[in-house]
Amino acid sequence: MFDRSIKIAPSILSADFANFGQEIRAIEAQGADWVHVDVMDGHFVPNLTFGPPLCKAIRPHISTVMDVHLMIAPVDPYIDAFAEAGADIITAHLEAGPHIHRTLQAIRGAGCKAGLALNPGTGIEDLDYLLDMADLICVMTVNPGFGGQKFIHSQIEKVQRLRAMIGDRPVHIEIDGGITPQTAPLMAAAGADVLVAGSAVFTGGAVDTPGPYGDNIRAIRAAAEQARQAG
């Protein structure tokens, strides 16, 4: 069932890599709605992270939604592998290849929800003929490749325009990059409903002391929901 309630999707890029299973169970127990997996290839973005085997290994620990963000190029040869590894949502970048409509078709054909990500320098003009193929639009509010970057404020207007373009279509607007209790309200007010947060969720906690994860998730959610109600 589609809904636009605020969803917090912690990025495991900021988790303890030696304890992914425990970290995932901890963030879900502390209120995470989705689990965000940042896949980087060292080519499309200047970092190298995870592949399908990692997604398959952590899938049994995820009881919510596995939200897989592919910052790779090309994308199409790897869609089936990530789908078979258990991804619920596979997001590809508009900038990653010349045939993004085909990519979205392939993601849905593999049984996953299709996400489309936009870098900060990419406009929304090319989405006119893609929105009906997408279940989620991910707006990058940092340049992809590394965690812990500062939020790019010019993306607020982009999200406002995107929300108007989507209208009543059942398409989520996800924000990835620099989300904190200070920036989450800006994006919620602009129309976003899925907030990816890495360091802002995992700071101060650990698998043995997960309480701060919950405090951080609640702080982000409360700030976002308050801004939405005020709007």
Gap between the Cα atoms of 139 and 168, Å rounded: 18
Q: Is residue 215 annotated as a catalytic residue, yes or no?
A: no
- The Cβ of residue 191 has, within 10 Å, a number of other Cβ atoms equal to 20
132 included as an active-site residue: no
| Among 33, 135, 176, 193, the one annotated catalytic | 176
Q: Which of 33, 38, 41, 193 is catalytic?
A: 38
Q: What separation in angstroms does the CA of 41 have from each of 51, 60, 146, 179? A: 9, 24, 12, 23
Q: Would you list the DSSP string of 167-192?
A: TTSS-EEEEESS--TTTHHHHHHHT-
CB 174 within 8 A of CB 194: yes
Which residues are part of the catalytic machinery? 38, 176
